Copies of this chain bind each other. A is one copy, B any other.
């Protein structure tokens, strides 16, 4: 594509979860002509489907390298995604029971993983500095974002400032780290519509927090609900399979 000549040799690290959003954020990095390196953190999510989807998406985007880093956040627990004793809530308005995080009230769902995006971005920053990259792409969005504090623009801005004080490359004036969150202001329906226009194949992706044993998405967790509503509002058909059809 035309843009690829613009940033010849300019590298970027893409955080890849295997979901819709990081797929599109990554595709935007590729379109902008970055030489892309995908990073997936296997942090002890409930299931392996996310990692398999991240592999498919990385291959589809043609990243130079896709690294899967193991990090056992189950060791900390505190989230429905990293602690089997906390159930993934199912159904609209169900924020879940049994949150073990002291000081966290009911407005933020139990699928929130404490400091997850801070940890992910810190790891991406470390790899970026080694690669000589100053651009990191993350597919967060603040509209249909489930209420996670680390999916907001002010968090990203603060992380970026910190990153530019933390690293040798930035302090020595070789460049300035930029955290790109191109989906921040888009609704899920807008993301899906735009992604389909860009030719993305959403059958590669996985969004469900709690899939069935056969890998089918539950259709009822927050992540499935946001996805299904997004496809419905976009007037498009979701290519993945759900439990019960």
CB pair B70 A103 closer than 8 Å: no
Q: Give every chain B residue within 8 A of A123 (Cβ-Cβ).
A: 115, 119
Q: Give every chain B residue within 8 A of A102 (Cβ-Cβ).
A: 131-132, 169, 174
CB pair B125 A115 closer than 8 Å: yes
CB pair A130 B101 closer than 8 Å: yes
Say whether, besides A72-B70, A159-B162, A168 and B112 are in contact (CB < 8 Å): yes
Say whether, besides A67-B75, A71-B71, A158-B161, A114 and B101 are in contact (CB < 8 Å): no
How far, in angstroms, from A71 to B102 measured CA to CA in the complex?
Answer: 26
A117 at the interface (CB under 8 A from B): yes
**B-binding segment of A19-27, A147-155, A188-196:** A147-155
Interface mask (A99-140 → B, CB under 8 Å = 1, otherwise 0) = 011111101100011111111011101110111100000000
A39 to chain B, nearest CB (A): 9
CB pair B119 A169 closer than 8 Å: no
A89 at the interface (CB under 8 A from B): no
Size bracket, chain A contacts = 35 or more
How far, in angstroms, from A167 to B149 measured CA to CA in the complex?
Answer: 6
CB pair B165 A154 closer than 8 Å: yes
Q: Give every chain B residue within 8 A of A119 (Cβ-Cβ).
A: 119, 122-123, 125-126
A77 at the interface (CB under 8 A from B): yes
CB pair A158 B165 closer than 8 Å: yes
Say whether, besides A118-B126, A125-B115, A165-B158, A104 and B70 are in contact (CB < 8 Å): no
A109 to chain B, nearest CB (A): 10
Q: Give every chain B residue within 8 A of A70 (Cβ-Cβ).
A: 70-72
- Beta-carbon contacts under 8 Å, A167-194 to B: 167-172, 174-175
How far, in angstroms, from A158 to B168 measured CA to CA in the complex?
Answer: 16
Apart from A103-B174, A119-B123, A161-B162, 18 more pairs, CB < 8 Å: A70-B70, A70-B71, A70-B72, A71-B71, A76-B130, A100-B130, A101-B132, A103-B129, A103-B172, A105-B172, A107-B172, A114-B130, A115-B122, A117-B166, A149-B168, A155-B166, A158-B166, A161-B161
